[in-house]
A = this chain, B = another copy of it.
Amino acid sequence: MSQRIKIKALLESGKTDIDVTVKGWVRAFRQNRFIALNDGSTNSNLQIVVDFENTDAVLLKRITVGAAISVNGKMAASLGQGQSVEVIATDIEVLGDSDPEKYPLQPKKHSLEFLREIAHLRFRTSTFGAIFRVRNTLSFAVHQFFQERGFVYLHTPVITQSDAEGAGEAFHVTNFDLDNVPRTDTGEVDYKQDFFGTATNLTVSGQLEGELGAMALSDIYTFGPTFRAENSNTTRHLAEFWMIEPEMAFYDLNDNMDLAEALLKYVIKYALEKNREDLEFLNQRLLDEEKTKPQAERSELSLLDKLQFCLDNNFERLTYTEAIDILKDSTPNKKKKFQYLVEGWGTDLQSEHERYLVEKHFKKPVILTDYPKDIKAFYMRQNEPDAQGRQTVRAMDILFPGIGEIVGGSQREERLERLEQRMDEMGIPKEELWWYLDTRRFGSAPHAGFGLGFERLVLFVTGMGNIRDVIPFPRFPKNAEF
């Protein structure tokens, strides 16, 4: 018996007349003769040809959808359509049966909602195999991009003391028996008795700790899980998601935008090269899905065209103030088609406004900069007021078609007095963030960074419509199954 070879390697080699051993799961079995075998290494199934006249009937009956089998055989050019090579089986062993009466996955189209309920098995479908291979490639591409540029991957803590940024949206972490929370003499929760001797939360961002690394190592990035206890039941929010947060000393906002744009293009290009087959499958999947929609709701570009389009075009860069002017003058604003009409300067943009700018006006990714100070975080670098006295910060958001905000970042306020003043204004306790302020006390320097929501990136690249379908086991309100 030869050593097992994965189907991807076998199909790529194109060799025939060699003895092979393959192992995987049966996706289909037609005419007691043709097995479609998949081992997850590729979207393509390998065709196994069974000499059913000389195969034990009991064994034949055990070759069912979902069964794990091991096959010895010889590679041969295929006479059938849909594949160039196939395996003529000499020997088949069933490693694990799959009762066709009970196996939830049948060789037919299942709804994404149904598959979400059996997320432990959905890896076995073509769609989710493709999604999670693409997700894998994107993860690695992120690392490779930063490594090529000398960035240090920093594991910032998941359990943190403060919720300086999160505005109450952080999950609590505790070792207390919730049925019997210890109290102080005065009846308050006695956090001194908790594991960490203090109240702790799940991190909402590694940025502040990331900055500590950047102010010594120059360029760092995080890539880890972050959490929001936000009661959002949408197709774009998760309670647990992965985020990439680079932080660069001596960068200004322009350097920051250049890096973010380069990163996005790099990882999309990488996936197009590495996972062409998976993306072609997902491209077709989306075309099929859109056929059921009215013409007006269909995308102008196919998935593959959309990805290529992102590579070929510079992202449009403009200020918030310029965007407001465009929106005020826009047809949907004048005809009162926006749910929230754009009337003046100062309020945050709604999803409909972002979509208009990206999908209708510029028809490409957009980077908005210099948002009003009052709608952004305390750590963003303050611009001097403009002629009308309007105050902005050196923020930037990258908006993608169909996704909205995929990156949010800023140049950071490196001036201690400005930073402290802003924290006071916003009621952020300076004593909790003494370590953050220390970087401004000792050897402060201009620096910048951003956060890239990884699942939103995967959503964009795979063309899926619901963020719950691009992470293996999604966490959202009332769901922590698996």
Contact of A209 among B4, B98, B229, B472 (CB under 8 A): B472
Are B176 and A442 touching (Cβ within 8 A)? Answer: no
- Tell me, yes or no, whether A308 is within 8 Å of chain B by CB: no
Which of A160, A196, A200: most chain B CB closer than 10 A? A196
Are A440 and B8 touching (Cβ within 8 A)? Answer: no
The smallest beta-carbon distance between A174 and chain B, in angstroms, is 5
Question: Which residues of chain B are within 8 angstroms of A473 by Cβ–Cβ distance?
Answer: 156-157, 209
Mark interface residues in A150-177 (1 if CB within 8 Å of B CB, else 0): 1011111111110000000001111110
Bound-state CA distance A129–B120 (Å) is: 41
Q: Report A108-151 residues with CB < 8 Å from chain B CB.
A: 120-121, 123-124, 129, 132-133, 135-136, 139-140, 143, 147, 150
Are A132 and B150 touching (Cβ within 8 A)? Answer: no
- Tell me, yes or no, whether A341 is within 8 Å of chain B by CB: no
Known: A123-B212, A132-B152, A143-B140. A444 touches B218 (CB 8 A): no
Nearest-CB residue, chain B, relative to A196: B480
- Tell me, yes or no, whether A408 is within 8 Å of chain B by CB: no
Known: A120-B212, A178-B172. A441 touches B102 (CB 8 A): yes
Known: A150-B6, A152-B132. A39 touches B218 (CB 8 A): yes
Are A154 and B197 touching (Cβ within 8 A)? Answer: no
Are B242 and A443 touching (Cβ within 8 A)? Answer: no
Known: A159-B480, A195-B229. A202 touches B173 (CB 8 A): yes
- Tell me, yes or no, whether A224 is within 8 Å of chain B by CB: yes
Question: Which residues of chain B are within 8 angstroms of A481 by Cβ–Cβ distance?
Answer: 161, 435
Bound-state CA distance A4–B98 (Å) is: 62
Bound-state CA distance A4–B249 (Å) is: 11
Are A153 and B140 touching (Cβ within 8 A)? Answer: yes
Are A23 and B249 touching (Cβ within 8 A)? Answer: yes
The smallest beta-carbon distance between A252 and chain B, in angstroms, is 11
- Tell me, yes or no, whether A24 is within 8 Å of chain B by CB: yes
Bound-state CA distance A154–B140 (Å) is: 11
Q: Report A428-445 residues with CB < 8 Å from chain B CB.
A: 435-436, 438-445
Contact of A132 among B200, B217, B438 (CB under 8 A): B217
- Tell me, yes or no, whether A384 is within 8 Å of chain B by CB: no
Mark interface residues in A395-420 (1 if CB within 8 Å of B CB, else 0): 00000000000000000001000000
- Tell me, yes or no, whether A41 is within 8 Å of chain B by CB: yes
Are B95 and A444 touching (Cβ within 8 A)? Answer: yes
- Tell me, yes or no, whether A188 is within 8 Å of chain B by CB: yes
Are A175 and B171 touching (Cβ within 8 A)? Answer: yes
- Tell me, yes or no, whether A246 is within 8 Å of chain B by CB: no
Bound-state CA distance A133–B151 (Å) is: 9
| Count of identical protomers in the assembly | 2
Nearest-CB residue, chain B, relative to A26: B443
Question: Which residues of chain B are within 8 angstroms of A39 by Cβ–Cβ distance?
Answer: 218, 249
User: How many residues of A are counted as interface, with CB atoms below 8 angstroms from the partner's CB atoms?
Assistant: 104
Bound-state CA distance A376–B93 (Å) is: 30
Are B225 and A155 touching (Cβ within 8 A)? Answer: yes
Known: A136-B153, A225-B155, A242-B155. A442 touches B103 (CB 8 A): yes
The smallest beta-carbon distance between A204 and chain B, in angstroms, is 13
Contact of A439 among B120, B132, B160 (CB under 8 A): B120
Are B23 and A477 touching (Cβ within 8 A)? Answer: no
Bound-state CA distance A152–B478 (Å) is: 28
Contact of A154 among B132, B179, B217 (CB under 8 A): B132
Bound-state CA distance A143–B139 (Å) is: 9
Question: Which residues of chain B are within 8 angstroms of A440 by Cβ–Cβ distance?
Answer: 96
Nearest-CB residue, chain B, relative to A446: B95
- Tell me, yes or no, whether A189 is within 8 Å of chain B by CB: yes
- Tell me, yes or no, whether A471 is within 8 Å of chain B by CB: yes
Are B25 and A195 touching (Cβ within 8 A)? Answer: no
Are B209 and A482 touching (Cβ within 8 A)? Answer: yes
Contact of A158 among B41, B147, B156, B240 (CB under 8 A): B240
Are A250 and B442 touching (Cβ within 8 A)? Answer: no
Mark interface residues in A171-215 (1 if CB within 8 Å of B CB, else 0): 111111011010000001100000111111010000001001101
Are A218 and B40 touching (Cβ within 8 A)? Answer: yes
Question: Which residues of chain B are within 8 angstroms of A2 by Cβ–Cβ distance?
Answer: none
Bound-state CA distance A136–B196 (Å) is: 27
Are B216 and A121 touching (Cβ within 8 A)? Answer: yes
- Tell me, yes or no, whether A451 is within 8 Å of chain B by CB: no
Closest 7 CB pairs of A and B: A96-B444, A40-B217, A123-B216, A197-B478, A68-B445, A120-B435, A196-B480
Q: List 6 A-B contacts (CB under 8 A).
A: A23-B250, A40-B219, A121-B438, A155-B472, A196-B479, A200-B480
